[in-house]
Amino acid sequence: MARVGRSAGVLESWHAGTETLENFICKWLKAGIPDTDGALLHPETGTPQGGIVSPVLANLYLHYALGFELFWFIDREGIPRVKRRTARTRLQGAIRRVKEWIKSHRHLPGMEFIKGLNRRLVGHYHDYGLRGNSADLWRFYNAAVVCAFKWRNRRGAKRKSFTWAAFGRAIAKLGIAKPRITAARCLQHELVFA
């Protein structure tokens, strides 16, 4: 059995959405579990293994606590699979924060700026670097690069300091962190529905 607290704060902390969903989850959690002798058990914590509430709670946790969404796709063999990607609100928030950092630190010398930006990029890749999530990693990277180009060109000079070609050469020379999958393959479980 999974350990799930039954306090009212659990559902509030997940921002479950509507009262109807919260009511259903509370009913599922309070439902009894049949014992081997036919008696109905009412445990204080946990959900029955294989119970209908288990995947609902898992999806809520995955989405609200870890910042991922699930989506269906058909793999190369034609098998439907469920994959994870960065939740839209988390991705938008991460992009907003990196843009704010770039704007407020655009005055730093080139290498210091790149080191600070790389810390933010690598941190994001570490948190969201799952197989199947590379499109969102590249979306984050591209937003950061475009923003860096914009704000590094607005450092007080009357003319632009970089063209796209010069900026591309500069970030290649300075070594901006490219998106990469950081989670180990053996730790990622994909669901297959046949």
Cβ neighbours of 114 (radius 10 Å): 20
Question: Is residue 3 a part of any domain in this protein?
Answer: no
Residue 117 has pLDDT above 90, yes or no: yes
Question: Is residue 64 a part of any domain in this protein?
Answer: yes
Question: Is residue 193 a part of any domain in this protein?
Answer: no
Number of domains in the chain: 2
pLDDT, residue 13, reads: 45
Q: Of the ranges 1-10, 88-97, 158-167, which one carries the lowest mean pLDDT score?
A: 1-10
**pTM for the complete prediction?**
0.66
Question: Is residue 2 a part of any domain in this protein?
Answer: no
The last residue of a domain, from among 83, 112, 146: 83
Question: Is residue 194 a part of any domain in this protein?
Answer: no
Domain housing 102: 87-185
pLDDT, residue 94, reads: 96
The last residue of a domain, from among 67, 83, 99: 83
